[in-house]
Every structure is written in C-alpha cells, then in structure tokens.
Amino acid sequence: MKSLPLIFLGVFFTLAFSWTGIVLTTHIQMKDLTPATSELVNDKGEPIGGPTYKADGQIFMGENTPGMTAYPQALVGEAQRGKLVYQEMGCLYCHSQQVRREGFGSDFERGWGNRQSVARDYIESERIMLGTMRTGPDLANVGLRYSELWQYQHLYNPQITSPGSTMPPFPFLFEVQPVSETRGPSPDAIELPDDYHPGEGLELIPTQRARDLVAYMMSLQQDYELPEMKFTQ
C-alpha cells in the first residue's frame, strides 16, 4: 500500500503525457486550419506561392483568392445522413479514407488518389473516418472512381461489380417490389445483371438508408488542390 501514491503518479503522468502528445499538440497545430482556395494572396491581393513567414518568424498563410471556391466543403443533406449510415455499418473497420504520400505504399499506382491527403481535408468533419485497417480499398476518392449505379450494385452484392470480393452483401438496404402495372418500372429501380435480378415482374429499390449512404460515398472526392498540397506533389 505504501507504493500506491507512486503507482497513481505513474499512471497519471503516463496518461497526461499521452494526452498532451496526441490530443493537445495536434489541436494546437491544426486548430487554425480553415477551408482554403488552391492559391493564396497576401494583404495586397498578390498571389503567394504558399505559407510565408513574417519578420518575427510567425507563419502567415495568406488569404483565400477572391472568386475561387474554398475547400473542403461541409456535407449536407443525404450525404450528411449517409455518413451516419457509414458509421453505423462499421465500414471504417475495413476501409480507410486517407491517401498516402507518393512513394509510401502503392496508393497512387492503384488509382486511389491524385495527391496525398492532408489534415485540412478533414476539418469540416465532426467525426473523421480515417479507418483502422485496409481490408478493402481506400475510399477517400471513391466518388471519383465509380458511378452511383456502381455504388448501388456494389452494396447490394459486391460480386456484381467486384467478383471475388470478400465484402459482404447488404441486401437489407434494398426492397424488392412488383413492377407497377399502371405506372411501369420505377425510375428508382436499380439495373442488375440477369444473374442477380430479383425475377420477372419484380424490381429492386434502394431504401432511404441506401440513398444516403451512396450520396455520402459519391461525396468522397479529394479532387481539389490546397495551398499545402498540389496534384504535382
């Protein structure tokens, strides 16, 4: 019992150092990041190549270029709800959302992105889905790589789009219904190969959860340049 205070102090300082190193230091470094245009201007409106330094050594990031769109942009509507579906379904346990620097791994060779992901890409995300491992492909740019139809087919049964995939199917995100005799096929019906079609006179309709999830997947597009990261870097 005499060593109890020493054990307590050891645990306390271990947690304190970990929190300071991982949480506090990161917050101090990233707290001032805001959506930015690909090029910045100085206080005279003149383009600057990137972050500059004042005489006192403080970093000056410049201002966004007027008339240019600043990125990243916050999710809205279906895409915003779809992120919750992504989270509920546990997609982040098999998929990452971060393109590694060229030369570190084979993300560029696999076509997963045209530039490295950086901290600013995630500042509009209340919860960041970086992922824990890569059982499946990285999804940082999945909205650029595939169409909406591909996303629906892949969720319904991955074997349609990716034969041999180990990803489980998610048929519960869809409903099979009879084709209306008066209105004909629904405009929302998902086109399927014959081997996966629900049957004559039937059609496959995505639920609202499927629509939200696909909207979120299509929103995953790091197709913009930032002051600190260009496509050529």
The model's pLDDT over 196-208, given as tens digits with 9 standing for 90+, comes to 999 999 999 999 9
Cα distances (angstroms) measured from residue 13 to each of 9, 16, 28: 6, 5, 20
* Same-domain pairing of 145 and 53: no
Between the two ends of the chain, the Cα-to-Cα distance in Å is 58
Host domain of residue 195: 77-219
Count the domains in the chain: 2
CATH of the domain at 206: 1.10.760.10
**Minimal CA–CA distance to 144: which of 68, 89, 224, 88?**
224
pTM, 2 dp: 0.85
* Same-domain pairing of 53 and 143: no
* Same-domain pairing of 201 and 93: yes
pLDDT of residue 59: 65
In a domain, 26, yes or no: no
In a domain, 213, yes or no: yes
* Same-domain pairing of 184 and 81: yes
pLDDT of residue 52: 66
Out of 17, 43, 65, a domain closes at 65
Q: Residue 220 pLDDT > 70, yes or no?
A: yes
pLDDT of residue 233: 64
